[in-house]
Chain A
Amino acid sequence: MPENQGFRRNFKKFSKPKPNIIVEDSPVLNAFQAYRAELDAKHDRHERIVKLSRDITIESKRIIFHLHSIESNKNNRQKVLQEAEQRLQKLININFKAVAKELHGQDPYQFRSAYSPGLQEFIEAYSFYEYFKWSDNEKQGLSDWHTIQKQMQYSDEVEVEIEKKQESLEEPATLAEAVNTPPNEEVKVLEPVKFEFFMDPTEYVLGISDLTGELMRRCVNSLGCGETNECVETCKALQNLYTCYISLRVQRCRELSRKVYTMRQSVIKAENVCYNVKVRGGEAAKWGSVFDNKPGDDIDEGFF
């Protein structure tokens, strides 16, 4: 056990007083050494995915923050959207690819708790971006999970030995490549391996529900900038989303019912903003909402 010196010392110290020190090659210890290897591999993979997920969370939060900086009097809309798109693409192409690589050949549900915060935050950022896109041209609304899933298809060059390749000769897809490879059997070649990041519909729905918090924030912020049209628009989108969520019948998902509850509060806040706009006009409503809601403090119900 060279990789675990400290533990070994402990072990000796504690077991010494006992009359029966177990010999190294006892079957029980051998079996447990194998179990240890398996458990360690599992924990390590879990930790690696958690790290990757955390990076995704941070970057997604920054993208959301960036999107909030869109203001009509600054004329920065196109520029901000462009940058947000680039950063989202980068997350898909680099960060999610790394997670997908870790999960390749694994049961994605086993490590769900490791990557779910990052994924939900990403979906939130992605859909928030899409919201701005939609209010530009109204052609394409919110993507569903299949659409996002389609963007998370990857392939990678992996060294594969020729012998294995020849077994798969029957498949027409690999035939063309097999013909090109040299006849020498011991040469290793690079072969594209396809894999994808698995998008769980439940994670998608939970991620979208976080979007409502951002829309509400957007609604309140627009009021501050005097963009009353934006308030009405976000409020409509919120009401729309809320209707969709209360139409769902989902058992066993406490997380979702908690989120729907928060969503209702966001909807009510946005509706109050619109109400104030209507009865008092844009200027006066600003004061009312600042005192009532304290925007920015307790709104984010994200993970951190």
Chain B
Amino acid sequence: MSNFVNMDVFANYQKYIDNEQEIRENIRTVVREIEQLAKESTIQLQIIHCDLKKIDYACAEARKQILACAESYQKLAALIPNGQYYRYSDHWTYITQKCVFLIALVVYLEAGFLVTRETVAEMLSLKTNHAEGFHLDIEDYLHGILQLASELSRFATNSVTMGDYDRPLNISHFLADVNSGFRLLNLKNDGLRKRFDALKYDVKKIEEVVYDISIRGLRSTAEGDGTEKDKND
């Protein structure tokens, strides 16, 4: 009597799994590299909370690390078989979100605007469309931007402590922009939605800071600019 179940099927599956395991290990090595680089640039950027003069320097340093990250991402892309991005993507979503955050912070500090997904993808040498190859997932981008919001609300508090009263207003405008952008999205009830729900606390925090300095007339240096704009709207 022959067996209904053929052991070979399972032996083949074992081979298949072993193969997958090996790919995963290689991915983990590269992801660890990226994590290290991202950590270094995060440390560099902490300086913004205690020394405003060093911001430009920190941004330049962070950019170097980001450039190195892009190289590692190319290595990572080479490891992933075509059309299997989402099979392994859980290894790098977290760190990619972190990288998006770092880039968005650097771009905001340098130029004051919200970096687009295309630009982030370009800086990390990724694609934007999954059909073209290893790409930047849209949800990872959005997660990264939300991390930026909470970092900026911290930065607003600290810049007041360091005597820069213009910055909170600037940040407040920026966050309002980001906030209304996110309100355009139809978010599903998932992780991104949960993270977005926390955005309002960052917005609230920054508005309190703006209120505090306005009510005390501390914003004297930028009085003309800021209040004019408010009245116009």
Contacts and interface: CB of A to CB of B under 8 A. Distances in A.
A32 interface: yes
B185 A32 contact: yes
A240 B184 CA distance: 56
A247 B10 contact: yes
Contact of B186 (A15, A40, A252): A40
Interface stretch (B41-49, B52-60, B84-92): B84-92
Given A29-B180, A248-B17, A107 B4 contact: no
A249 B177 CA distance: 51
Question: Which of the listed residues B5, B10, B14 has the most CB atoms from chain A within 10 Å of its own CB?
Answer: B5
B190 to A, nearest CB: 9
B5 A141 contact: yes
Interface of A, secondary structure class, is helix
A301 interface: no
Nearest to B174: A28
Given A29-B180, A38-B138, A142 B114 contact: no
A138 B2 contact: yes
For this complex, into which size category does the number of interface residues on chain A fall?
A: 35 or more
B10 A134 contact: no
Contacts of B186: 4, 7, 36, 39-40, 43
Interface in B162-191: 173, 176-178, 180-188
B1 A35 contact: no
A251 interface: yes
B13 interface: yes
B70 to A, nearest CB: 21
Contacts of A42: 138
A134 B185 CA distance: 53
B5 A22 contact: no
Interface string B1-31: 1111111111111101100010010000000
A134 B4 contact: yes
Among B10, B85, B138, B176, the most chain A Cβ lie within 10 Å of the Cβ of B10
A31 to B, nearest CB: 5
Contacts of A138: 1-2
A144 B21 CA distance: 21
Contacts of A108: 83
A75 to B, nearest CB: 23
A110 B188 CA distance: 16
B130 A29 contact: no
Contact of B86 (A109, A248, A249): A109
A20 B1 contact: no
A247 B14 contact: yes
A237 B4 contact: yes
Interface in A79-122: 105-110, 112
A141 B1 CA distance: 11
30 contacts: A11-B184, A14-B183, A15-B180, A20-B176, A28-B178, A31-B114, A31-B117, A31-B181, A32-B185, A38-B138, A39-B139, A39-B185, A39-B187, A40-B186, A43-B188, A108-B83, A109-B85, A109-B86, A110-B85, A131-B4, A141-B2, A141-B4, A201-B16, A202-B17, A205-B10, A240-B4, A244-B7, A247-B10, A247-B14, A248-B17
5 closest A-B pairs (Cβ-Cβ)? A32-B181, A109-B86, A110-B86, A109-B87, A19-B230
Interface of A: 4, 7, 11, 14-15, 18-22, 26-29, 31-33, 35-36, 38-40, 42-43, 105-110, 112, 131, 134-135, 138, 141-142, 144, 201-202, 204-205, 237, 240-241, 243-245, 247-252
